[in-house]
Amino acid sequence: MSDQLLLDRVLDALGDPMRRRIVEQLAQGPQPVGELSHSLPIGRPAVSRHLRVLGDAGLVHHNTQGTRNFYELAPQGRLELHRWLSALWDSTLGSYAAYVASHPEGQDRS
Amino acid sequence: MNPAPVVSEVRVKATAGHAFALFTDHIGEWWPVHSHSVHAGTVAFEGNELVERRGEQSAVWAEVTRWEPPSVLGLTWHAGHDASRTTDILVTFTQDGEETLVRLTHTGWERLEDGDQAATDYAEGWPVVLDRFVLALAV
């Protein structure tokens, strides 16, 4: 998958408030889908669907321990987000640098 | 687990004092509001705050925590939502001959670890996605 496509998936996945709640829940540690659905106002099938979307975006993966399937946060989606925010600041500072270049000291700044 | 700071830097051909003045006093002239703002309005430092305005709408983006011209500008950062969830921005201006290195460091993600169960219905645009980013990065 291209970086851009993955990034789009990450942002789309986190665009849903319930999926953000799931990410916050998983931030406290790995959980099976049943426990997740107890702490959220939606049913287990809906939680599973959200987990699939988060998984496709590289934000969540699952881990089988015995007979239980635990979900936990995955690093890939987060790295993508980190790169994306860096790029946002780069473009902001790029705009600043262009402004400085066209406004040398001592010149009338009005 | 604390996520790594986001660091971005640029070199400009100016003294640190001039670079600091343009960054702060003239922020409304260079900030890319069309792509990176809440209301696509205008931004300016007003007293201790960085405020975006458009018509009667306004959004406080940041509070100044350090104002030490020509070398350091510190801000809390919460563009797009209330001040209960802030990250930190530190901008340093380091003069090197005829140039100044401007380095922006964005940290404080760990403070958001518990997330926010409150409003998620922010205005469309960059701060919204930033907010989403923060939630994910905060974990």
Q: Which domain holds residue B42?
A: 6-137
Task: State the DSSP code for A40.
Answer: S
DSSP string spanning A46-104?
HHHHHHHHHHHTTSEEEEEETTEEEEEE-HHHHHHHHHHHHHHHHHHHHHHHHHHHTS-
- Tell me which of A81, A91, A110 to substitute to probe the interface with B (most B C-beta atoms closer than 10 Å): A81
Dist CA B94 CA B76 (whole Å): 21
Dist CA A89 CA B6 (whole Å): 9
Average pLDDT over residues A19-30: 81
**Is residue B128 one of the residues assigned to a domain?**
yes
Q: Which domain holds residue A42?
A: 3-101
Q: Does A94 touch chain B (CB under 8 A)?
A: yes
Residue among B3, B8, B114 whose CB faces A93 most closely:
B8
**Is residue A109 one of the residues assigned to a domain?**
no
**Is residue B15 one of the residues assigned to a domain?**
yes
pTM beyond cutoff 0.90: no
**Contact (CB<8Å) A95/B4:** no
Q: What CATH code is carried by the domain that includes residue A55?
A: 1.10.10.10
What's residue A11's pLDDT?
A: 77
Residue A44 pLDDT > 90, yes or no?
yes
Q: What CATH code is carried by the domain that includes residue B39?
A: 3.30.530.20
The number of folded domains in chain A is 1
The number of folded domains in chain B is 1
pLDDT tens readout for residues B39-51: 667 899 999 999 9
Average pLDDT over residues B25-36: 82
| pLDDT bracket for residue B35 (50, 70, 90) | low
Among B22, B31, B1, B16, smallest CA distance to B102 is for B16
pLDDT tens readout for residues B95-114: 999 999 999 988 776 554 43
